[in-house]
Structure formats: structure tokens, C-alpha cells
């Protein structure tokens, strides 16, 4: 059976971010509200953002947010005291604009450096229904 690539998963870890921006619940929510449209994706529901309290020496707490999109999901986790943000954009579409996403998060959170990974998902995804 022939297969196609199911989708793409982009991860971004941002360093040296602005503590105030990383600790801004409204900014995290705004990113989750506007980024799907900017990427040509459709939200299936409203994003949610939670305050994640400090839970050990490695995790000093911050904001965690998530939005489910028709194409999959986008998540953001901030760590203001560390100047760090971790984000995922996962989609069943192909051709994700990773340069735009990197620039978007860099600008929104005042990042000094980013580290990214790009994964092709479902490389054995069937081209036809099996059942």
C-alpha cells in the first residue's frame, strides 16, 4: 500500500526571554488565539491557559496554554524566572512556515536565542482508508 507524510511537528525552545512577557497570561492567550489564523489553521475551540505553580528545582512555574485546531494543536509553556519558553505547533498539513513561527515567538516573548526541531509525522500514513 502506498503511503504519504501525515503532517509536521515544529518545536521551539526560546531562551533569554523577557520575564514580564513570559509571565503575562493575556499574552500567552493572545498567541494561542491569533497564531492558528496566521498559519491558515482553524481553531476547534477556545484556547485554555493555566498557571503552573513551581513544582521542583527544575520547574519554577509559569503559564501553560493549549489550543486544539482542526489540523492538531499548538501549545506554549513559559518559565518566566528562567527566561524560557517551550512551544509546539503540530499540524496534519504540509509546508509549515517554520521561519515565521520562529520570528513570531522571538518577537512576542523578546527571545535572545531559539532552538528548533522539525519532525515529519506519520511517514507511513496510508493514502487510502483501510477499513
Q: Is 73 one of the annotated active-site residues of the chain?
A: no
Please say if 75 is a catalytic residue.
Answer: no
The active-site residue out of 64, 73, 77, 86 is: 77
Burial status of residue 82 (CB atoms within 10 A of its CB: 0-12, 13-18, 19 or more): middle
Q: Establish whether 77 is a catalytic residue.
A: yes
* DSSP annotation of 99: H
User: Annotated catalytic residue: which of 64, 73, 86, 92?
Assistant: 92
Active-site entry in 72, 73, 75, 86: 72
CA 69 to each of CA 39, 41, 73, 80, 90: distance values in angstroms, whole numbers, following the listed order: 11, 7, 5, 26, 9
The answer to whether 85 and 63 are in contact (CB under 8 A) is no
Spatial CB neighbours of 87, under 8 Å, sequence gap ≥ 6: 11, 12, 14, 74, 75, 76, 77, 105
Active-site residues, by number, are: 72, 77, 92
Amino acid at each position: 500500500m502506498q503511503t504519504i507524510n501525515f503532517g509536521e511537528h515544529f518545536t521551539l525552545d526560546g531562551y533569554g526571554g523577557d520575564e514580564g512577557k513570559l509571565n503575562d497570561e493575556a499574552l500567552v492567550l493572545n498567541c494561542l488565539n491569533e497564531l492558528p489564523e496566521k498559519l491558515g489553521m482553524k481553531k476547534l475551540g477556545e484556547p485554555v491557559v493555566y498557571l503552573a505553580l513551581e513544582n521542583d528545582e527544575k520547574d519554577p512555574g509559569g503559564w501553560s496554554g493549549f489550543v486544539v485546531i482542526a489540523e492538531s494543536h499548538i501549545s506554549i509553556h513559559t518559565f518566566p524566572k528562567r527566561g524560557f519558553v517551550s512551544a509546539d505547533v503540530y499540524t496534519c498539513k504540509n509546508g509549515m512556515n517554520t521561519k515565521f513561527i520562529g520570528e513570531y515567538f522571538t518577537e512576542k516573548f523578546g527571545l535572545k536565542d531559539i532552538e528548533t526541531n522539525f519532525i515529519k509525522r506519520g511517514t507511513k500514513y496510508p493514502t487510502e482508508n483501510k477499513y
